[in-house]
Protein backbone atom coordinates (compact mmCIF):
# COMPACT_ATOMS: atom_id res chain seq x y z
CA UNK A 1 0.00 0.00 0.00
CA UNK A 2 1.44 3.38 -0.94
CA UNK A 3 1.39 6.54 1.18
CA UNK A 4 -1.65 8.08 -0.54
CA UNK A 5 -3.68 4.89 -0.12
CA UNK A 6 -2.74 4.77 3.56
CA UNK A 7 -3.74 8.42 4.07
CA UNK A 8 -7.08 7.79 2.35
CA UNK A 9 -7.81 4.78 4.56
CA UNK A 10 -6.93 6.74 7.69
CA UNK A 11 -9.29 9.56 6.68
CA UNK A 12 -12.07 7.09 5.95
CA UNK A 13 -11.57 5.32 9.26
CA UNK A 14 -11.72 8.67 11.04
CA UNK A 15 -14.53 10.23 8.99
CA UNK A 16 -16.89 7.37 8.17
CA UNK A 17 -18.53 7.63 4.76
CA UNK A 18 -16.89 10.34 2.70
CA UNK A 19 -17.20 11.44 -0.90
CA UNK A 20 -14.21 11.57 -3.20
CA UNK A 21 -14.53 15.36 -3.08
CA UNK A 22 -14.44 15.33 0.74
CA UNK A 23 -11.31 13.18 0.65
CA UNK A 24 -9.65 15.47 -1.88
CA UNK A 25 -10.33 18.46 0.37
CA UNK A 26 -9.09 16.72 3.52
CA UNK A 27 -5.87 15.63 1.84
CA UNK A 28 -5.52 18.85 -0.14
CA UNK A 29 -5.15 16.64 -3.22
CA UNK A 30 -4.41 18.56 -6.37
CA UNK A 31 -4.29 15.67 -8.83
CA UNK A 32 -7.70 14.10 -9.31
CA UNK A 33 -6.25 11.27 -11.41
CA UNK A 34 -3.92 10.14 -8.60
CA UNK A 35 -6.70 10.31 -6.02
CA UNK A 36 -9.13 8.44 -8.25
CA UNK A 37 -6.52 5.79 -9.05
CA UNK A 38 -5.68 5.29 -5.37
CA UNK A 39 -9.37 4.94 -4.47
CA UNK A 40 -9.82 2.48 -7.31
CA UNK A 41 -6.85 0.43 -6.08
CA UNK A 42 -8.23 0.39 -2.53
CA UNK A 43 -11.58 -0.80 -3.84
CA UNK A 44 -9.98 -3.55 -5.94
CA UNK A 45 -8.04 -4.77 -2.87
CA UNK A 46 -11.27 -4.89 -0.85
CA UNK A 47 -10.08 -2.18 1.55
CA UNK A 48 -12.96 0.23 0.86
CA UNK A 49 -16.61 -0.13 -0.01
CA UNK A 50 -17.77 2.04 -2.91
CA UNK A 51 -21.23 3.57 -2.85
CA UNK A 52 -22.03 4.83 -6.34
CA UNK A 53 -20.14 4.84 -9.61
CA UNK A 54 -16.34 5.06 -9.48
CA UNK A 55 -14.46 8.17 -10.56
CA UNK A 56 -16.97 10.85 -9.60
CA UNK A 57 -16.61 13.56 -6.99
CA UNK A 58 -19.93 12.51 -5.43
CA UNK A 59 -18.99 8.82 -5.10
CA UNK A 60 -19.06 7.79 -1.45
CA UNK A 61 -16.47 5.53 0.13
CA UNK A 62 -16.24 3.83 3.49
CA UNK A 63 -13.45 1.75 4.96
CA UNK A 64 -14.05 -2.00 4.96
CA UNK A 65 -12.92 -4.12 7.95
CA UNK A 66 -10.22 -5.56 5.68
CA UNK A 67 -8.93 -1.99 5.21
CA UNK A 68 -8.84 -1.42 8.96
CA UNK A 69 -6.82 -4.63 9.34
CA UNK A 70 -4.39 -3.45 6.65
CA UNK A 71 -3.92 -0.14 8.49
CA UNK A 72 -3.25 -1.96 11.74
CA UNK A 73 -0.52 -3.97 9.99
CA UNK A 74 1.05 -0.89 8.34
CA UNK A 75 4.36 0.25 9.87
Q: What is the mean pLDDT of each run of 10 residues along the chain (75 residues)?
A: 92 93 89 89 95 85 94 84
How far is it, in rounded angstroms, from Cα 4 to Cα 6?
5
pTM to 2 decimals?
A: 0.88
How far is it, in rounded angstroms, from Cα 28 to Cα 52?
23
How far is it, in rounded angstroms, from Cα 63 to Cα 17?
8
Amino acid sequence: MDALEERLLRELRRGGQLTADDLANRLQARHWVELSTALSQLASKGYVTVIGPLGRASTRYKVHPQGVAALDRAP
